[in-house]
Amino acid sequence: MYASGLNQGTSGNISVRDGGTMLITPSAIPYDRMTPAMIAAMPIDGERGVWSGPSKPSTEWPFHLDILRARPEIGAVVHAHAPYATTLAIARKPIPACHYMVAAFGGDDIRCAGYARYGTDELSRLAVAALEGRMGCLLANHGMIAIGPTLEKAMWLAVELETLAKQYYLSLAIGGPVLLSKAEIAGVREGFADYGLKTGAPRGRARPAIRRNS
């Protein structure tokens, strides 16, 4: 997360589903001092808030836990205060279909969840709602979340989300984007489905594979 520029200080946290357990980065420990033994564990369907480990879980554990509870197909959650995504979140601007990669998030926009204080159940409720049918969202006046079936895909989408946020922000500075239509985004999602990205697009038609950087 540091190398990709997603993280600022000790902000940002990651969780992974391990069977019935959520593994989550600990609270307030800089990533460069973090070791595997410091990762906290919480039961996904057990008593809410129970944890084990040498360090307490990230203060953002409520939305990590509730996303894994609400979305059984999701295996990892990445949260960051990445600069451009957070800039849009401060302005409460969702990301529209300004680039075809928006389709990788499951629809024709990336929503911005309403504001609630960090670590609260209300923020968790707002985040789960903004993520409905999506693989990422912004959090008003806070940051961003990207999710995926695996940690690798969630991290890839986190970097893509920050890239889209930067591109959308820059396009606003030169008169604003020309948006893709719902049909154009639907076409991209069909292509992604064949490539193996889980965006909820229909499957089964033979099409050339789309590479990540095409």
- Smallest gap from Cβ 117 to Zn ion, in A, equals 11
Determine the distance from the C-alpha atom of residue 56 to the mean position of all C-alpha atoms in its chain, rounded to a whole number. Answer: 22
User: Which CB sits closer to Zn ion, 143 or 148?
Assistant: 143
Amino acid occupying residue 102: V
Q: Is 60 annotated in the active site?
A: yes
- Smallest gap from Cβ 81 to Zn ion, in A, equals 6
Amino acid occupying residue 148: G
Instruction: Mark residues 131-170: x for contact with Zn ion by CB under 5 A, - for none.
Output: ------------x---------------------------
User: Which CB sits closer to Zn ion, 28 or 170?
Assistant: 28
By Cβ distance, which residue is nearest to Zn ion?
Answer: 143
* Long-range contacts formed by 126-129: CB under 8 A, 24+ apart: 127/63, 127/66, 127/67, 128/63, 128/66, 128/67, 128/70
- Smallest gap from Cβ 127 to Zn ion, in A, equals 11
Q: Where are the beta strands (DSSP E) in 27-120?
A: 40-43, 76-80, 112-113
Residues that bind Zn ion (CB under 5 A): 143
Active site residues: 60
